[in-house]
Chain A
Amino acid sequence: MTERQQMKKQKPEERINNFKEVACGFNKEEALAEAERCLQCKNRPCVDGCPVEVPIPDFIDKILEEDFDDAVDIIKGKNALPAICGRVCPQEEQCEIECILGKKGEPVAIGALERFVADFDLDSDKEEEINSVEAKGVKVAIVGSGPSGLTAAADLAKLGYQVTLFEALAEPGGVLRYGIPEFRLPKSIVDEEIDYIKQLGVEVKTNVLIGSTLTIDELREEGYEAIFVGTGAGLPYFLNLPGENLNGVYSSNEFLTRANLMKAYKFPEYKTPIVTGKNVAVVGAGNVAMDSARTALRLGAEEVSIVYRRSRNEMPAREEEIENAEEEGIDFKLLRNPVKIIGDGDGWVKELECVKMELGEPDSSGRPRPIAIEGSNFTIPVDTVVIAIGQGPNPLLSKKTPELETTEWDNIIVDEETYETSIEGVFAGGDVIGGAATVIAAMGDGRKAADEIQAYLQGKNE
């Protein structure tokens, strides 16, 4: 078996000084060599591992034939956002973990190949060929333009529905825009993939907050026969510790929104400021925590640490992102839990008081329960603290739509089979119906909800 091709990356000492993409992507030779490794197995376990069922061996076969246009078309038949997914999907837990090659060695680099093909498509001047379908003259509204909304919008537009995508922020993309940093997902890639969705006929309306600017009832009055709610997990969780409202303490949502959406890393050219200082502590160990820590480093922080109450094994971030963070010199303070944020007397954060932890028996999440070691308190000097312990659904829409039933954690309740909410004709998917998950899981929901919306509309209009 030949060795898996390793994707070139910007060197750590260089990349910590810029916001350019870290991973450089395969060149043609690397892509061909990697495609060669695919066994083209009959039972295609990788496809089963993909939440949107991309026919992986088929597009890899087209790469081998150097027919990259066809390879793109095969992917886009199932996935409207391949350049994004090629970058941010946790392939190692989905398609690649199922790859037969992985049993004895390393699996095919499916994500890298997807990215190669998608980037080839974006770089080519080829006019996008959109198969024109007969317009059905039926209006569908999509609320939220993150991964689930974009996927549902693309699928429904391809079926001939007249789709309008509503976004509260000034630019579409949701978490792809405000959350994931430029060095992991360039915004030009997000722009281009959303342009493709617009070419499919989707109308994008930004600066419209559904629930406030327009209500769900008003959308129905305007003739939208089905509505998909994909409003994501936009509510930041805090630790509820003393000192959390000191200056210099951010939610990861705020920290990343300032840096990504508002481009604070280009301050003062862009007017939105951000403060990092020399010492930054990021609390949490998911992808958002890694993104926050690596952003802080690029903003000029000298010492950036991840503070996490469990051990490395339990860290929820992708292995690749943890490695990237390690290479860049992020200090991992594991089995440490913050108990107090201490101010300098002038309203600014000065120290983070932590306690050492040990792991006990597994808790309800199946992970070992972290237990504080009494008397082990210590402080670390900090100028900035970023709280990246997760986020929940933003309750704004459900508050303004009392008929929309939610759980006590504000998740919208849907029928497991049909994705329909407590309001007829209103569907929901992505992070708003479950805990914060991944881009691709949200896309899988968007895909399935779109199928159900089609079935609903066909039944209704028969």
Chain B
Amino acid sequence: MSKILNKENLAPEIDLFTIDAPLIAAKAQPGHFVIARASERGERIPLTIVDYDRDAGNIDLVVQAVGSSTMEFCSLEVGDELLDLLGPLGEPIEIKEIGTVVCVAGGLGVAPVYPKAKYLKKAGNKIISIVGAQTEEMIIMKDKMEDISDEIYFSTDDGSLGEKGFTTDILTALLEERADEIDEVVAVGPAVMMKAASEVTADYDLDTIVSLNPIMIDGTGMCGGCRVTVDGETLFACVDGPAFDGHAVDFDELMMRQTHYQTQEEKAKHNCKIDKEVG
């Protein structure tokens, strides 16, 4: 059982949890994820390891209450325990000195971008961050991103923070002005954003790492539910990724596969809300 040591609300319906998980913390690297389950009836939820403290034996996870299982997860409080926590899973990204890395994070994508940016910074890289969300209120981990960035830009749909528009607008402008200075781009967020960011960087032939979030169950390569097409080949995001070359990913297929259970999810969420109201 994995105890919740700390819980911090980051934005409406988005919480950061610090979990006691010494074995996972000992092995965690940027890019790794875990599969968590709050209770017996809940789904197995893949969550990126946002940060880890090997000495203390803790890992940080960010959860957005969007479906019935994540809503249940977010109802947990400090002292509660997760029923299941498995990890670290997936392949970590390579951390080395490259030069200047642009880190683009859309919405909840800050959670997977942060550890990559943090350790790339530690490895001696210059970090230019572009962080976007619908509104200022929905921008998460702003201070942490500022701490590890040499330069940081924000975008919001309503202009409440930074530029009004999308992260890719800022990325496009940045590349138009200073593409020569930039050696690599890391872009994580909704699939549509990662697709757009990869299209922008393709024009400059800039290496672009994305981190995919398909539907998963076991997270160990057993079910194939998370299969994605990369460079024409079917790969399993859970064991072959979740980080891939953004220029090789079939994002349209990913987006299509992410809708597989939309109808069922609405039903489960509806039931969950009824449970809450009745119970």
Contacts and interface: CB of A to CB of B under 8 A. Distances in A.
Are A and B genuine complex partners? yes
Contact of A254 (B41, B224, B256, B265): B224
Contacts of B89: 209, 212
Contacts of B86: 168, 170, 207-209, 213
B271 A257 contact: no
A422 interface: no
A207 B229 contact: no
Interface in A422-459: none
Interface in A209-261: 209, 212-214, 234-236, 238, 240, 244-245, 247-248, 250-251, 253-254, 257-258
B268 A257 contact: no
A243 B253 CA distance: 11
Given A213-B24, A262-B44, A275 B218 contact: no
B229 A234 contact: no
Centre residue among B37, B43, B220, B265 by max chain A CB count within 10 A: B220
A247 B259 contact: yes
A347 B261 CA distance: 13
Contact of A253 (B42, B223, B229): B223
Centre residue among B68, B234, B260 by max chain A CB count within 10 A: B260
Nearest to B264: A273
A273 to B, nearest CB: 3
B239 A169 contact: no
B224 A271 contact: no
A208 B27 CA distance: 13
A360 interface: no
A347 B264 contact: no
A296 to B, nearest CB: 16
A254 B221 contact: no
B56 interface: no
Contacts, number: 111
A258 B222 CA distance: 12
B223 A236 contact: yes
Say what secondary structure dominates the interface of chain A: loop
A207 B19 CA distance: 15
B221 A234 contact: yes
Contact of A269 (B41, B88, B239): B41
Contacts of A178: 222
Given A262-B217, A394-B220, 17 more contacts: A170-B86, A178-B222, A207-B84, A207-B85, A209-B86, A209-B87, A209-B89, A234-B221, A235-B222, A245-B227, A257-B223, A262-B44, A267-B264, A271-B72, A275-B260, A347-B257, A396-B221
A253 B253 CA distance: 21
Contact of A268 (B24, B239, B256, B268): B268
B75 to A, nearest CB: 14
Interface in B23-65: 23-24, 27, 37, 41-44
Interface in A264-318: 267-273, 275
20 contacts: A168-B218, A170-B86, A209-B220, A212-B27, A213-B27, A213-B86, A235-B221, A236-B223, A238-B227, A245-B227, A245-B257, A247-B260, A251-B225, A253-B222, A262-B43, A267-B264, A271-B68, A271-B69, A272-B217, A273-B261
A329 interface: no
Interface string B192-225: 0000000000000000000000000110111111
A245 B267 CA distance: 24
B174 interface: no
A395 interface: yes
A264 B87 CA distance: 23
Nearest to B90: A212
B218 A169 contact: yes
B83 interface: yes
A213 B88 CA distance: 6
The 10 residue pairs across chains A and B that have the minimum distance between CB atoms: A273-B264, A347-B256, A254-B223, A251-B224, A234-B222, A170-B84, A268-B268, A273-B261, A236-B224, A254-B225
Contacts of B260: 247-248, 275
Nearest to A251: B224
Centre residue among A214, A235, A268, A269 by max chain B CB count within 10 A: A268
